[in-house]
Each structure stands twice: as structure tokens, then as C-alpha cells.
Structure 1
């Protein structure tokens, strides 16, 4: 029989997957609604705002900064916005970062204690997510594709362990405080 904790881990993973598809396929308005719903369910049933506000906020800000930077380098091209302001990532992509943040202390919590495995996950999973997203959204990846995927792999191999290090530091501080 499954424990309540395992059910919450599975629910966290499924909410992320549903949120990913809603953000990538739905555009800004649907992504915003999906992010609000996912965050509401997450904080009501799975997580806790008091314990997770730092990691949720940091992940959102870091993710927006990374993808905006990649947009300014034209490694990511946000096709729905044609003017110079289009170098700022679209709202749906920011919502995706927030939804991703909900996994760090739950379905991806294992990567907090196994940073090498988290880096490997990031190295392969990050670029694959961008590649899949580029096939069904308004984001284009720069050519040659292998270079873009390698850049994304390196970034994600650093991002997941880094976020989990911050998460661990906040957990340690909460235990000692």
C-alpha cells in the first residue's frame, strides 16, 4: 500500500508534468492560470509556503534571469515578441520556472542529497525539455542545435545542484533556528 508521502511525491511529479504541458502549449494566459492552480494545490496539499518560499522565489528569479540572458544572446528566440522587448522571456516560460520550483523539495528532493545525479539529470533533462518545448511552442533554439543543447546541458548541470544546495542551506538554517 502506498503511503501518503509517496502519493504526494507522485502528485507533485504529475502536477509538474501537467503544468509543463499547459505552459508550453497554452501560452501566457493559460500558463498563468496553470501556475496559480499548481501552486495552490502544491501549497495546500503537498508543500508549505513558509518552508518553501525562498526556494520558490529564488528558482523563479534565477530561471527568468537565465532564460532572459539566453534570449539576449539569441540562444533562445522568443518568436511571439518581435520588438526589442521580446528579449525578455514570455510569461509562460516564467510560469514554467515557478512550477519547476515546486518539485525541488518533493519529487526532485533526491537530487539534494545526490548532487552528482542531480547534475546528470540536469545535463540531459534540461536540454531535452527545451528541445521538446521548442517543437510545440513559440521558442526557437539557435543553430547549430548541438551547441545550443550543450550550452543548456552545462547550465542545467549546474542549476539543479546549485538550487538544491540553497535548499539544503535553508533547511539547515530552519532546523538550527
Structure 2
């Protein structure tokens, strides 16, 4: 197994585990473990490919996106996270999701880097689906109803995902290669 495929596999499996620990844990008061899953996931990826310098800008982009987007949903009360009272700052497990998602554009989501319209569709539909499942699992609630949140999620994620994909492509030097060979 080459390093690129191994890093992609670790990222794919790691992000699925991250999502579960974050959302299910967020619903049960142990969402902070999502940060540990993120650290382990990235540690394993970096041990395999030694590409941490390529990932840091995407981790920063995920943090910036979280800092900009979450208050837009929290402040007007479109979403409330379980056991979380701040309306301007998301809980740690949400930060872990944003960072893990953003860095995935170097690995399991690299296929979207040159497919920006598909990335927008993926973002709009996937964002609404993800938040809906999270709400049904009890990680969050929608004080103003599902439709206002779903509409804003659809629009925001339809913009954020192609921006992350494009940013990852630019950071990779515009290379057509979907996953870097760090060997």
C-alpha cells in the first residue's frame, strides 16, 4: 500500500469516526473527545506522509470558516447545541468537525478540488443532511424550526465547500493529482 492511499484511507475512516464521536458525543456531553479523535487522525496521517506543512493552511481555513459561520447560526438562534449556552462561539466538537472536514480536501475529498459545481451541490445537500442527522441524534435543536436553519445551511455550505476545494487546489499548486505522493 503506498503512502498516499494509506493517508487517504486514514483520513476517510478518521473523519467518519470524528463525525460520530463529535455528534453523538455532543448529544451526550462528551463531544470534547472529538478533539482527541482529530489529533489522532492527523497524527496518523502525518506519520504516514509527513505532509503536515500542506495541511496547516487547510486546518487554519477550517478554523476561520468555523469562526465566521457558526456565529451566524448561533447568534440569531437558528441552532442551539446541546449543553452549550454561548451564542457567539461553537463548542469544541464543532471546531473539530470544521478542522477535520477542511483538511480532508487534501485526502478523501481531494476529488472535489477540480469539481467546484459538484462541490457546491455536495456542500448544500451534505450540509443540510449532516445537521439534520445531528439534530435527530440530539446534538442540537432548532429553536426557530428546521426550515430556516436548513435554508441557511444549504446556502452557506454550498459556498464554503467549493471555497475549501478551490483553496486546497491552489495550495497544492493547481496540480491535477488528487492526492499527493509524499514518499
How big is each residue's C-alpha offset from its partner over 1:139-164, in whole Å with a ceiling of 9 and x where there is no partner? 11243312321210111111011112
5+ residue gaps, structure 2: 176-183
In structure 2, relative to structure 1, the CA distance for the partners of 1:12 and 1:141 (3 Å cut) is same
Root mean square deviation of aligned Cα: 2.2
CA distance in 2, matches of 1:118, 1:77: 27
* Structure 2 residue 60 is matched with structure 1 residue 61: no
Bigger Cα displacement from structure 2, 138-147 vs 47-56: 138-147
Report if aligned partners of 1:15, 1:38 keep a CA contact under 8 Å in 2: yes
- Name which of 11, 33, 37 aligns with 2:36: 33
TM-score scaled by structure 2?
A: 0.82
Q: 1:157 maps to what in 2?
A: 158
Identify the structure with bigger relative contact order (alpha carbons < 8 Å, sequence gap 6+). Answer: 2
CA shift, 1:4, in A, is: 5.3
In structure 2, relative to structure 1, the CA distance for the partners of 1:137 and 1:37 (3 Å cut) is farther
Which protein is richer in helix relative to its size?
1
In structure 2, relative to structure 1, the CA distance for the partners of 1:3 and 1:43 (3 Å cut) is closer
Bigger Cα displacement from structure 2, 3-12 vs 52-61: 3-12
In structure 2, relative to structure 1, the CA distance for the partners of 1:28 and 1:60 (3 Å cut) is same
Report if aligned partners of 2:70, 2:88 keep a CA contact under 8 Å in 1: no
TM-score scaled by structure 1?
A: 0.85
CA distance in 2, matches of 1:31, 1:39: 12
1:24-173 to structure 2, matched below 5 A, reads 24-26=23-25, 27-46=30-49, 48-82=51-85, 85-172=86-173
Q: How many residues align?
A: 171
SS in 1 for 2:109: coil
CA distance in 1, matches of 2:17, 2:94: 14
Report if aligned partners of 1:78, 1:86 keep a CA contact under 8 Å in 2: no
5+ residue gaps, structure 1: none
SS in 2 for 1:103: helix
In structure 2, relative to structure 1, the CA distance for the partners of 1:81 and 1:3 (3 Å cut) is closer
* Structure 2 residue 8 is matched with structure 1 residue 9: yes
